[in-house]
Structure 1
Amino acid sequence: MRRKLFGAILALCVGWFQAEAHTAGFIKSPLSQMKLIEDNAELDCEVIGNPIPEVQWWFIEGEDPDEILTQLYDGARDDRVRINATYIDHATSSLMLTNLTLNDTGVYECRASNDPDRNDRWTPPRVKWIRSQANVIVFERATIMTEPNVVSNVTSATLSCNLTNPSSPIKGHFWTRNGVIIKDSQSAKPDAYAEHHIEKVDYHYSGLYTCVFQTEPEANATIEVKVAPHVTAPKHSENANEKDKAVLTCVSHGYPLPTDWFWFKSSEGDDKDPIVNGSDKYEIKNTPNKTTLYVKDLDINQDMGTYHCQGTNDMGSAIDKIELRVRSQLAALWPFLGIVVEVIILITIIFIYEKRRKPDEINDVAKMPFQPDGVLNIALHALCIISPHDLLPVASSASHWIAVDEQLYQVKQESDICCVFQEEQLCDKPQRQKRPAEELQLRAEQRCSYDYC
């Protein structure tokens, strides 16, 4: 019983696999389209199956029973038919119809089959061709009267379009500039007349203006708004090091873009020397909206200066300039040298200040309490003032004691010191009497001495 059940299941699986292996199916069918004369139409078809099915395209004219079927191939209809097909995981095929005419209107059929006998005329196929159809309808192009056809050499302009013989009712209209919809131009009115005003005609508002009438299919016409090119350098000053390569760039805006680019270098006076592309020194690369100049192996004497870029179209030309500065190879050391100079100046200022300042006390004078026999038991000190004028070395082979303001100081041999004392000397012996001390000024010609009691 189990064997019979297993055999039945196996037979069912094999039968399902065989059916699956010989079945083709569409995963993408072609879509119907409405086109205008001279437009292009593309139909796509994708089919799966095992083995991978073959795909064919057919054109059907007329209706049953008088319909005429014609198989299409790549290059048919005066090379206006293009067929591309791939057979990898599944079958993919696309039919392209270019430069449509009214005779291209009709039914296009995508056929697919993976039966081995599908193309045998004498053996009927076990599996029929599967089919998917799409309609392509080609209309006469509507007539749109534009005013003006081209805008140039004006400061403002009004663009207008007048649609005649539309292919279907008008649902509205709008304007585009360079393919982008102008928001305030959209209208849902079924008018056959559209108008757009440009207050200022410059490079900001130049371009291709298209009026679009929402019919089936859409009808449109284009008006050109032309201006002279607007050329500008993103950077008007460039810095580069000697022996390096400088890159100078200019860009252009507006419509139409420049057809020619030129570079110049300022010479003496107002003269400009043209730069030749492809030399050992210069290389120029141009695109419609950009030009780039490469200056190689920079020389600080020859390559520094003003460079001019010029763009030209059929409406005129424009020019801009770039200042090129070339730095010496030692330029990288300049910040370090500047720091060194600043440090040297700072040290010099500090040295001069320390040399010329007048301190309140002389650090070299030693303070000592003095208690000799017979001298008053008083802590003594004195004040020594440094004079910046008439300073001469003081010669002294011995130390001297000076009693000033009830203090005693020992004066040592020093230079550039002038001490002024104007105090009374104190004596403790009875035979000595107190007398005022004379003003003593220490100079080179007079030893720093004191007349003791």
Structure 2
Amino acid sequence: MLIFFVSQFLLGFVLASSDNNEVIFAQLDGKVQMECEGEGELFWRTKSNQSATEYMDLPAEGNEIDDNTLILTKLSEDQLGVYSCFDAEDNIVKSFTIEVRYKIKKMPASVFVNKGSATLPGEIVCTTVRDTKRSSSVGKQVPVEEKPDSKGHHDVIFRWYSRPEGSEPDSELTQICGSNGGEFNCNNDSEPPQLSEIKETEVAPAPAPFLERVSVVTTKENTGYTSELKIDNAQMEDRAVYVCRAIARESENDLDMDCEESPNCEEVYTLLRIKDPLAAIWPFLGIVAEVVILCLVIFFCERRRKQEEDKEEIDEDGYAGNNISSNNSLRQRK
């Protein structure tokens, strides 16, 4: 019984701590403002990340405190981390996690796959990267070098959707997989569902349902997260626009999130085009058929023309023979 109450107390403490933490996505060299509401005088401390146990005092430069508001005047790589305000009894009133805004690499406008084939590795891939552009002294945008241990790679989940080709970007999406839909979890790195064994018959079996032919593999690397959508035995009905959303972990329960307005969501998409391997043969066969028909028409026309010419020659020869016999008969009468 005692263990039960202790576990419930610790669980409530963890939940309260997570609810009291606000994630702020910011841009390097930008201004960050954190407001803490509490009674009496509050003071601020910082640590490198949530897992760190010890707080440190704020650096002497690079920040301003106005009442209970902490302002980072020009965010740098070293300032990324957790900032907490404490009351007079050294209790945490509120915490803020400052991270660099994450983005998703754009996918190609369209991807081609032959009917009955599988998508190639690396074709439909959703990859998060840090938005590490910062302003230089001359006002140009230069990327910050990525380091294997750099901070700010926010924990995200991926959800994959589809919508009909030609539909508007804000049209209704059909969720393929994810923590709240689909036949399996998009973030599950286990093997995709195996297709049931099909006995060989004289009649070709119908293709398996789409959700049995699709799989998603999500990996985490030093440079970010990657989620790849794979489709086996592609069919014509699989042609559609496929949408990938990278959602911040703390917002995974928000199913109606608008990626255009929310900083906790990024979205990219690509059009999957299905090609018939025999599609190129039909135009060729059509051209061959046209040539054959044209040759037959020319052949029969030439043959008919030659027959008419031969008939005319025969008629002329017969007319000339009649004239000679008539002249001979006239001479004999005289």
Task: Settle same-fold status: TM greater than 0.5.
Answer: no
Give the structure-1-normalised TM-score: 0.31
Larger Rg: 1
- Structure of greater relative contact order (alpha carbons < 8 Å, 6+ residues apart): 2
User: Greater share of strand residues, 1 or 2?
Assistant: 1
TM-score, normalised via structure 2 length: 0.39
